[in-house]
């Protein structure tokens, strides 16, 4: 230890440290060393400036780190606020769409005044939803009854035909959609005294989103773009519900002319449907419940 204290290198290091400490303290405003260091001020001034600049640089560096952390936290909070605002905008847009659909439902009620219109949400949505039975949240507890041999039309908010109710349970019902090969409806060309025909689902056409049109009279001029609506014949569906438009006509067999039809409604984009229940059936169901 004694040898260390008497070492020239140790003495030099200690001297340098003392001088640096004195220079650093002399930089501090109001330090008594300012007066003591004035005689050698010209010599140590560069060192003082270096120490001061180094200290200022370190302070600026530390301040930059703190500012960066604060900015990062602020950005995180702003991103969270933006995400919340975007979610609210999306919710408002969906609410507006739902409002427009429900508002347009009153148009259905006005057009078919003899029918009660029941809105329902689609509960099941499968990959091949157009070809399978669709389940909706509407049933006997909502006042909807379906007697054997009856059928209830199901439409979208624009009053386009989607399919028909084939089963009603306590809390839900099942829809047979237009493209299903088990679906069939009496239809007509949408014009005064329009020709009657039949629209049905077809196994070979459904994957193209098309229906088959049959029972076409040879004298009927059916062209692509012709609008087809329900005819009302048979009493299962009311007259005048839009079904779709003719895509093509096959006259290769004059005794059996067929056509293809593209439905107006796209159930893949729908959240709600509307079931048309004849008013007298609603009254009967209410009286039975009473």
CATH code: domain of residue 170: 2.40.10.350
Helix boundaries (H) for the chain: 2-5, 8-27, 33-36, 41-111, 279-289
Mean pLDDT confidence for 206-220? 92
- Residue listed under structure tokens 């067999």: 253
Beta-carbon contacts of 112 under 8 Å, excluding residues fewer than 6 positions away, are 238, 276
pLDDT of 283: 44
Q: Please identify, among 89, 111, 133, the residue that sits at the C-terminal boundary of a domain.
A: 111
Please check whether residues 82 and 139 belong to one and the same domain. no
- CB neighbours of residue 120 within 10 Å: 21
Count, residues in the chain: 290
Last residue of a domain, one of 111, 143, 175: 111
Q: Outline where DSSP puts E strands in 38-183.
A: 115-121, 134-136, 152-155, 161-168, 173-177
Does residue 129 sit in the same domain as residue 266? yes
Q: Summarize pLDDT for 95-123 with one digit per residue, the tens.
A: 555 545 555 555 666 667 788 888 888 88
Residue 162 sits in the same domain as residue 43: no
Helix (H, G, I), strand (E, B) or coil at 188: strand
- Copy the structure tokens of residue 57: 């640089």
Q: In this structure, are 89 and 206 located in the same domain? A: no
The reply to whether 80 and 222 lie within a common domain is no
Local structure of 209: helix, strand or coil: coil
Which of 76-85, 131-140, 251-260 has the highest mean predicted lDDT (pLDDT)?
251-260
Same domain for 181 and 99: no
**Dihedral Cα 124, 126, 132, 137, nearest 10 deg:** 10
Domain with 1, as residue range(s), is: 1-111
Q: For residues 255 and 197, state if they share a domain.
A: yes
Cβ neighbors of 107 (< 8 A, separation 6 or more) are 159
pLDDT higher than threshold 90 for residue 60: no
Lowest mean pLDDT among 16-25, 186-195, 214-223: 16-25
pTM above 0.75, yes or no: no
CA distances (Å), 214 to each of 135, 188, 253, in order? 28, 11, 12
């Amino acid at each position: 230890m004694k040898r260390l204290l008497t070492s020239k290198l140790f003495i030099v290091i200690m001297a340098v440290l003392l001088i640096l400490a004195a220079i650093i303290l002399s930089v501090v405003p109001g330090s008594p060393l300012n007066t003591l260091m004035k005689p050698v001020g010209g010599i140590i001034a560069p060192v003082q400036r270096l120490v001061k600049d180094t200290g200022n640089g370190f302070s600026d560096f530390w301040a930059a780190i703190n500012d960066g952390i604060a900015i990062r936290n602020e950005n995180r909070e702003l991103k969270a606020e933006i995400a919340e605002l975007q979610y609210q905008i999306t919710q408002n847009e969906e609410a507006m769409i739902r409002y427009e659909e429900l508002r347009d439902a009153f148009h259905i009620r006005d057009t078919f005044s003899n029918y009660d219109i029941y809105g329902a949400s689609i509960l099941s949505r499968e990959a091949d939803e157009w070809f399978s039975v669709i389940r909706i949240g509407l049933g006997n507890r909502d006042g909807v009854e379906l007697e054997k041999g009856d059928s209830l039309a199901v439409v979208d908010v624009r009053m386009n035909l989607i399919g028909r109710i084939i089963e009603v349970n306590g809390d839900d019902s099942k829809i047979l959609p237009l493209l299903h090969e088990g679906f069939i409806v009496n239809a007509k060309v949408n014009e005064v005294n329009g020709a009657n025909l039949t629209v049905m689902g077809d196994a070979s056409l459904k994957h193209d989103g098309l229906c088959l049109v049959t029972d076409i009279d040879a004298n009927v001029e059916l062209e692509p773009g012709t609008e087809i609506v329900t005819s009302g014949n048979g009493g299962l569906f009311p007259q005048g519900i839009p079904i779709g438009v003719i895509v093509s006509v096959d006259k290769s067999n004059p005794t059996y002319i067929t056509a293809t039809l593209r439905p107006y409604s796209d159930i893949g984009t729908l959240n709600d449907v509307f079931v048309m229940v004849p008013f007298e059936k609603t009254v009967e169901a209410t009286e039975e419940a009473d």
